[in-house]
Amino acid sequence: MRAIQVKQVGGPEVMETVELPIPQAKGTEAVVKIAASGVNFIDVYYREGRYKAQLPFVVGQEGAGVVTAAGPEAKSVRVGDRVAWTGQLGSYAEYAAVPADRLVPIPESITDEQAAATMLQGMTAHYLAHDTFTLKRGDTALIHAAAGGVGLLLVQMAHNIGARVIGTVSTEEKAQLARDAGADEIIFYTKTDFETETKRLTGGKSLDVIYDSVGKTTFEKGLNLLRPRGMMVLFGGSSGAVPPFDPITLTQKGSLFLTRPTLVNYIATREELMARSKAVFDMIAAGKLKLRIEHKYSLVEAQRAHRDLEGRRTTGKLLLIP
Ligand code: NDP
């Protein structure tokens, strides 16, 4: 089978198309013939070496397809099931072996491509809006990179809950997408100072929550915008990692809360994985959550997909089709 492998970490060019044997289903694993694989910023972190994996590794954390083999102890799936998953390396390939208890069934009304586009970014938006900070009607949230993969989904969920959403974006096209998703106000944070602009829109330090996936270029200023006891949810570093931080700053800025969550801890049990994926699939089926699959690349175009993602040229979801 064809797969995209990294033998040494680095830029997009380190991702090579290689021929590997189709994996065997051992023990509790199932083998999935992949119909679509999701491209996510976390793939960049692994490829660069910011997140560590044993070399060589096949890139990718998200996929959907059909089960072609199940190990003797894989109880929860059968050959022929349509399934999706996230959180296991190896989805930039034609097949992957995945622990069966990490696979969720794809509802009939959801296509394989929609499922691949939902698992990582959809469940992330869901836990951020519902669990990390439980948004309520009337809350004010600042969502950075509001037209990104997670961004567009999080804006829709926050809007559906009834929160006031301020979104940051870099281009007019992205602004329109974020507005269509439900953002009440847009700030062009590459052209204007988002701290000044947010204060103007909100009348001072009054945000209930900031969802910050941009990190290095946005984190520090965000702390000046939260109301006392507001929450900074730092969930990524698309612009780079946030430098070391003194917790006393949280006291000085108003007894703030800071968390650096990751999806793994919000789908740790099978029950939570099933419930969260179902909640997101149900929103899509009911027309309450719209997926934007912006671009489908063939598997061998993985380098281009990463260049586009890192180059801020993308909106919504990117898929690789084997
Ligand atoms: P996006 O589609 O959001 O792409 C990243 C976006 O970040 C860009 O389009 C760009 O939007 C913005 N950005 C700001 N500064 C930069 C920069 N210097 N370089 C590149 N992009 C920049 O990606 P994803 O939806 O896949 O992921 C979004 C973030 O969420 C990532 O940081 C990722 O790591 C994180 N994440 C965290 C999870 C968790 O559980 N903790 C789970 C999933 C994702 P613009 O041009 O509008 O500024």
- Per-residue pLDDT reduced to its tens digit, 260-300: 999 999 999 999 999 999 999 999 999 999 999 999 999 99
Q: Could you tell me the residue range of the domain that residue 165 belongs to?
A: 137-260
Residue 131 lies in a domain: no
* Residues 65 and 111 placed together within one structural domain of the fold: yes
Q: pLDDT value at position 205?
A: 78
pLDDT tens, 214-247? 999 999 999 999 999 999 999 999 999 999 999 9
Give the amino acid at 59.
Answer: V
Residue 182 lies in a domain: yes
Ligand 1 centroid–CA 81 distance in Å is: 32
pLDDT-derived band of residue 204, with 50, 70 and 90 as boundaries?
confident
* Ligand 1 pocket: which of 143, 173, 176, 213 to mutate (most atoms within 8 A of CB): 213
HEC per residue, the chain: CEEEEECCCCCHHHEEEEECCCCCCCCCEEEEEEEEEEECHHHHHHHHCCCCCCCCEECCCEEEEEEEEECCCCCCCCCCCEEEEECCCCCCECEEEEEHHHCEECCCCCCHHHHHHHHHHHHHHHHHHHHHCCCCCCCEEEECCCCCHHHHHHHHHHHHHCCEEEEEECCHHHHHHHHHHCCCEEEECCCCCHHHHHHHHHCCCCEEEEEECCCCCCHHHHCCCEEEEEEEEECCCCCCCCCCCCCHHHHHCCCCEEECCCHHHHCCCHHHHHHHHHHHHHHHHCCCCCCCEEEEEEHHHHHHHHHHHHCCCCCCEEEEEC
Taking CA atoms only, the protein residue closest to ligand 1 atom 31 is 236
Ligand 1 centroid–CA 318 distance in Å is: 12
Taking CA atoms only, the protein residue closest to ligand 1 atom 16 is 239
* Residues 142 and 237 placed together within one structural domain of the fold: yes
Atom of ligand 1 nearest to the CA of 215: 32
* Ligand 1 pocket: which of 131, 143, 238 to mutate (most atoms within 8 A of CB): 238
Residue 52 lies in a domain: yes
Structure tokens at 249: 């700053």
Short-list 221, 181, 225, CA closest to 202: 225
Q: pLDDT value at position 5?
A: 98
* Residues 115 and 162 placed together within one structural domain of the fold: no
Give the amino acid at 227.
Answer: R
pLDDT tens, 26-74? 999 999 999 999 999 999 999 999 999 999 999 999 999 999 999 999 9
* Residues 112 and 157 placed together within one structural domain of the fold: no
Atom of ligand 1 nearest to the CA of 260: 41
Taking CA atoms only, the protein residue closest to ligand 1 atom 34 is 236
Considering 240, 260, 280, which residue would you say is the last residue of a domain?
260
pLDDT tens, 159-187? 999 999 999 999 999 999 999 999 999 99
Count of structural domains within the chain: 2
pLDDT tens, 2-36? 999 999 999 999 999 999 999 999 999 999 999 99
The CATH number assigned to the domain holding 35 equals: 3.90.180.10
**Cβ atoms 294, 117 nearer than 8 A:** no
Atom of ligand 1 nearest to the CA of 189: 48
Please give the Cα distance from 165 to 296 (Å, whole number). 29
* Residues 217 and 302 placed together within one structural domain of the fold: no
Atom of ligand 1 nearest to the CA of 236: 32
* Residues 22 and 96 placed together within one structural domain of the fold: yes
Give the amino acid at 315.
Answer: T
Angstrom distances, CA of residue 225 to CA of 20, 155, 163, 206, 241: 50, 19, 17, 6, 20
Please give the Cα distance from 219 to 241 (Å, whole number). 10
Please give the Cα distance from 263 to 36 (Å, whole number). 20
* Ligand 1 pocket: which of 47, 51, 124, 150 to mutate (most atoms within 8 A of CB): 150
**Cβ atoms 232, 212 nearer than 8 A:** yes
Q: pLDDT value at position 322?
A: 97
Name every residue whose Cβ is closer than 8 Å to that of residue 130 and which is 6 or more positions away in sequence.
Answer: 157
* Residues 180 and 90 placed together within one structural domain of the fold: no
Verdict on whether the full-model pTM lies above 0.95: yes
Angstrom distances, CA of residue 84 to CA of 100, 268, 321: 10, 16, 14
Short-list 322, 318, 321, CA closest to 42: 318
Residue 191 lies in a domain: yes
Angstrom distances, CA of residue 101 to CA of 98, 126, 166: 8, 20, 38
Atom of ligand 1 nearest to the CA of 311: 20
**Cβ atoms 30, 70 nearer than 8 A:** yes
* Residues 211 and 232 placed together within one structural domain of the fold: yes
